[in-house]
Amino acid sequence: MSATIPREHEPTAVVDVAASAVATGVTRNEPVLEIEGFSVDYGVGASMVRAVDDVTLRLDRSRVLGIAGESGSGKSTLVYAMTRLLRAPGVISGGRALLHTTDDDGVVTPVNLVEATESQLRKVRWSHVSIVLQSALSALNPVLRIGREFDEVLKTHRKEMTRAQRRARAVELLRLVGLTEDRLDRYPHELSGGQRQRVMIAVALALDPELVIMDEPTTALDVVTQREIISELATLRARFGFAMIFITHDLSLLVELADEIAVMYAGSIVERAGARELYEAPRHPYTLGLLHSFPPLHGERRELTGIPGSPPDLADPPTGCRFAPRCTFVMARCLSERPTLRELGDEGRSVACWLFDPASESRVPVELSLAPSARQTVGEP
Amino acid sequence: MRIVARRLGLYLLTAWVAVTANFILPRLMPGNPVQTLIGKITSQVTPAEIRAIRLSFGMGFKQGVIAQYFTYLGQLFHGNLGISITLGAPVSSILRESVPWTIGLIGISTIISFTLGTLAGAMLGWTRGSRFDSLIPTATFFQAVPYFFLGTVMLLVFGSNLHWFPVLGAYSQSATPGWNWTFIASVLRYGELPVISIVLSSVAGWMLGMRNMMITMIGEDFVLMAVAKGLPRRKVIAHAARNAVLPSIANLSLAIGLVVSGALLVELVFNYPGVGDLLLQAVLNEDYPLIQGIFLVITLTVLAANLIADVVYLVLDPRTRSEAAV
């Protein structure tokens, strides 16, 4: 970490750079986050449970990565551990998480969050990576006014700002998410669920972070508000150019917002592909099952079937593929050998399934060999 | 402000009920103070003397109960609580002498105990599982020991044997009561041991309460958010503590309410001239006016403490404001 250089408070300048980058379609293929061989355990010794198992991910600047999976798949554990927010008994048992932080002069410094000290973490947190939680009601301190949420962040990380400047910045941020200035003097319980979540998003953007993590930010909201917030997020991302990790169990929601989607099952990534490709042409049987568990927001109706069975007990996982006991296409090999995430030919996507093993004799079922429709501009459904 | 006014009205009503009960209860008891006093006089009592005694208690006039009640209320408003039988002085002036001692001693002790206990509890909750956890059984031990025993032992060891602290009374006999430095210094010096003993015996409650609330709060999302925001540790703890302290504030109000009445044992052990000591004497001597006066003071203190706590709670927890407005 370089010494703290006070960042110029000029949001408009930042906007222009980011907006032009997105508008001209220039994708800067610089990574903002690289996770390698990342594992997280709960507990130690005999009662140990591996909640995240050898996950490798890369997220480029200004891109949106969706992480999908059912409850207990390790998606939240992954991001909380990566940002070092995971509480005991969760322990990072291996791997690294490199966050490429950019300072005011455009100098990029990679910080390994796994090994960062408390003071290094404090500098990285919120300035470079911020987070929005599922329940804004519990994420906002119930006895403090909304304005304090902005104020304390700016006061901690932008020491040169005066009280009036902090207030002005808070008002500006609230406007971005469609809220009026008077909300600043309100308490969390006086706002509606949608307003609270908007406040959280505004607070998350307060310091122009490179990466914003969204942990099911719309799950607690009604569908109408959910849609509004998703489209607002897309607009904000296009304007400010922050990268985003969006965690949800709702794949149909992700396809609207994400550039890429990683599907997690029982602690591992089972499939990773472009959002549209994954949505229209899933390769992993679990992804297919997930898609059949939610009604699509657009397009033709599908029969909702769900996935039979329940996720494995991670304290005693099955020997082979962890999805094998629930899989419709299970083969003998699946029960003994565990497939790893591998690139799928030239499709630019990866899947952890024996069906797609080049050496495999078996034929890929028709449901899993659809071709995605012609690719359109990313982010425009 | 409307909420505060409404609360105030409620408390006034409660105060009236208490005052009325204070009027009715002695009249429901068998016997009367005149008989008690006559019983104490060993020589022959003439009817003229009985009449004089009745008159001095204001019982000589034939008055209906309702009229008596209004006379009683009127006297109350003028601060006239009657004459103590045993001490022969107006109850109000007796109380004026003893109440400040009790409020000073127990009030200061309660505030010290609350502050220390809450701060320690916040730290213990935050560093749960550290070696500081051994503070809890230690503090609980002192709370579990009966106060009478703890106080006596402390008096014996630190006062009589080691002579670290002065014993007996609230100030040195050589000091002249008044606003002079010698007297104030003497009061403080004599107060040390009682205050320490009270704090020692009550700090565990505050500590445990705060620690447990703190542990609950640490699991809350907003504390996680405070960490995620990169706030310094001190501010993260403040986020949790600000919410964890709310139940302790409620308990503090109850404790302050008991400041006036709950000091009996302390005052006995340390021979402190407070209300507890006075109440004991009054009960032993069946000094009705004095008992009534003390009860009245206790009731009003509890009510006032609750009112203050309500207001403080409204200030500290915005959620109660809107709930109260419903």
Query: What is the pLDDT confidence band of residue B326, given thresholds at 50, 70 and 90?
Result: very low
Taking a C-beta distance cutoff of 8 angstroms, is the pair A220, A196 a contact? no
Q: Render pLDDT for A133-168 as a digit per residue (tens, 0 to 9).
A: 888 778 999 999 999 999 999 999 999 999 999 999
d(CA A56, CA B285) in angstroms, rounded, equals 85
State whether B222 and A142 contact (CB < 8 Å): yes
Residue A22 above 50 pLDDT?
A: no
Question: CB contact, 8 Å: A128 with chain B?
Answer: no
Give the per-residue pLDDT at A2. Answer: 43
CATH of the domain at B166: 1.10.3720.10
Integer angstrom CA distances of residue B120 from B68, B90, B112, B217: 53, 45, 12, 16
Within 8 A by CB and 6+ apart from B64, the residues are none
Tell whether B145 and B248 lie within a shared domain: yes
Give the pLDDT confidence of B68-111 residue by residue, as tens digits.
888 888 888 887 877 787 787 888 888 888 888 888 888 889 99
B22 and B166 assigned to the same domain: no
Spatial distance between the Cα atoms of B253 and B256, rounded to a whole number of angstroms: 5
Is it the case that residue A24 has pLDDT exceeding 50? no
- Cα A82 from Cα A342, distance rounded (Å): 23
What does the pLDDT read at residue B261?
65
B94 is a domain residue? no
C-alpha span between B13 and B17 (Å, rounded): 6
Q: What is the pLDDT of residue A12?
A: 41
Nearest CB to B316: which of A83, A126, A143?
Answer: A143
| Statement to judge: residues B120 and B259 lie in one domain | yes
- By residue count, chain B amounts to 326
| Chain B neighbors of A117, CB-CB under 8 A | none
A34 - beta bridge partners? Answer: A58, A98
CB-facing half-sphere around the CA of A117: CA atoms within 13 A: 3
Distance CA A140, CA A117 (A): 26
Q: How distant is the Cα of A205 from the closest Cα of chain B, in angstroms?
A: 11
Is B202 within the bounds of a domain? yes
Give pLDDT, residue A28: 58
Per residue in A261-277, pLDDT (tens digit) is 999 999 999 999 998 88
pLDDT surpasses 90 at B42:
no
For the segment A188-228, what is each residue's pLDDT rounded down to a tens digit? 999 988 899 999 999 999 999 999 999 988 887 888 888 88
How far A132 CA sits from the closest chain B CA (Å)?
A: 9
Reported ipTM: the value is 0.82
Q: B325 pLDDT band (50/70/90 cuts)?
A: very low
At A296 the pLDDT is 63
Diameter over CA atoms, chain B: 87
As a whole number, mean pLDDT of residues B200-217 equals 91
* Inter-CA distances, A209 with A62, A83, A340, B133, B170, Å: 11, 14, 33, 39, 63
B58 pLDDT above the threshold of 90: no
A 10 A CB-CB count for A345 gives: 9
Does residue A130 sit at the B interface (CB-CB below 8 Å)? yes
Average pLDDT taken over every residue of chain A: 83
Residue B242 is assigned to a structural domain of this protein:
yes
Residue B176 lies in a domain: yes
pLDDT value at position B48? 78
Kindly tell me if the per-residue pLDDT of B228 is higher than 70: yes
**pLDDT class for A67, splitting at 50, 70, 90?**
very high
Q: pLDDT tens-digit profile of B241-269?
A: 999 998 898 888 878 777 776 677 888 88
Note whether B133 and B250 are same-domain residues: yes
Number of domains observed in the structure of chain B? 2
Tens of pLDDT along A335-347?
A: 888 998 888 876 7
Q: Rounded to the nearest 10 degrees, what angle do helices A223-240 and A11-23 cross at?
A: 100
User: What pLDDT was estimated at residue A381?
Assistant: 43
On whether both B188 and B283 belong to a single domain, the answer is yes
CB-based contact A85 B224, cutoff 8 Å: yes
- Check whether residue B36 and residue B185 sit in a common domain: no
Interface contacts A/B by beta carbons within 8 Å: 73
Task: Establish if A155 touches chain B: CB-CB under 8 angstroms.
Answer: no
* Secondary structure of residue B30 in the 3-state scheme: coil
Give how far the C-alpha of residue A335 lies from the chain's centroid of Cα atoms, to the nearest Å.
31
Rounded to a whole number of angstroms, the distance from the CA of A140 to the nearest CA of chain B is 5
Average pLDDT over residues A273-285: 89
Give the H or E element holding residue B192.
helix B181-218
Among B224, B230, B318, the residue with its CB nearest the CB of A187 is B318
B59 pLDDT tier (thresholds 50, 70, 90): low
B63 and B193 belong to one structural domain = no
Judge whether residue A17 has pLDDT over 70: no
Query: Which residues of chain B neighbour A144 with C-beta distances below 8 Å?
Result: 242
Residues 6 or more apart whose Cβ sits within 8 Å of residue A332: none
Whether the pLDDT of residue B279 is over 70: the answer is yes
Find, among B323, B26, B5, the residue nearest to A142 by Cα.
B323
A190 touches B at CB < 8 Å: yes
Say if A67 is an interface residue toward chain B (CB within 8 Å).
no
Q: Has residue A5 got a pLDDT over 60?
A: no
CA-based Rg of chain A, rounded to a whole angstrom? 21
Please indicate, yes or no, whether residues B200 and B107 belong to a single structural domain of this protein: yes
Higher-scoring residue by pLDDT: A282, B54: A282
CA distance B235 to chain A (A): 9
- Which residue in B225, B227, B239 has the most chain A C-beta atoms within 10 A of its own C-beta, making it the best mutation to test that interface? B225
Q: How many CB atoms lie within 10 A of CB B307?
A: 19
Q: How confident is the model at residue B301 (pLDDT cuts 50, 70, 90)?
A: confident
Q: List the structure tokens of A85.
A: 């927010």
Between A330 and A4, residue with greater pLDDT: A330
Q: Which of B77, B112, B147 is a domain's end point? A: B77
* pLDDT at site A207: 92
Q: Is residue B88 part of a domain?
A: no
With respect to residue B131, please indicate whether it lies within any of the assigned structural domains. Answer: yes
**Nearest CA of chain A to the CA of B301: how many Å?**
29
Residue B165 shares a structural domain with residue B228 = yes
pLDDT at res. A168: 94
Lowest mean pLDDT among A16-25, A106-115, B114-123, B152-161: A16-25
Residue-range definition of the domain harbouring residue B67: 17-77
Token look-up 């005066």 returns: A162
Instruction: Note whether residue B293 is domain-resident.
Output: no
Residue type present at position A355: L
Distance from first CA to last CA of chain A, Å, rounded?
Answer: 39
What residues of chain A lie within 8 A of the CB of B127, using their CB? none
Could you tell me the two tokens for A214?
């969204």
Residues A204 and A242: their CA atoms lie apart, in Å, by 11
Question: In chain A, pLDDT over 70 holds for what percent of residues?
Answer: 87
Closest CB from B231, B246, B322 relative to A156? B231
* pLDDT digits 0-9 by tens, A112-130: 988 989 889 999 999 999 9
At B306 the three-state DSSP class reads: helix
Chain A residue numbers touching B316 (CB-CB < 8 A): 143
Is B171 inside a domain boundary? yes
Which pLDDT score, from 0 to 100, does residue A4 have?
44
Q: Are residues B206 and B245 in the same domain?
A: yes
Q: Are residues B48 and B107 in the same domain?
A: no
Q: B273, B169 in Cβ contact below 8 A?
A: yes
DSSP summary character for residue B107:
I
**Domain shared by B44 and B127, yes or no:** no
Instruction: Look at residue B145 in the predicted model and tell me its pLDDT.
Output: 85
Question: Which carries the bigger pLDDT value, residue A346 or residue B230?
Answer: B230
Q: Looking at the predicted structure, is the pLDDT value of residue A378 above 70?
A: no
Predicted local distance difference test score (pLDDT) of residue A48 = 85
Residue A97 has pLDDT above 50, yes or no: yes
Q: Which residues contact A242 (CB under 8 A, 6 or more apart)?
A: A18, A62, A205, A208, A209, A210, A211, A212, A236
Q: How far apart are the C-alpha atoms of A257 and A193, rounded to whole Å?
A: 21
- The answer to whether A195 and A183 have CB atoms below 8 angstroms apart is yes
Percent of chain B with pLDDT over 90: 16
> What's the pLDDT at A170?
94
Tokens for A63, please give them: 């891109």
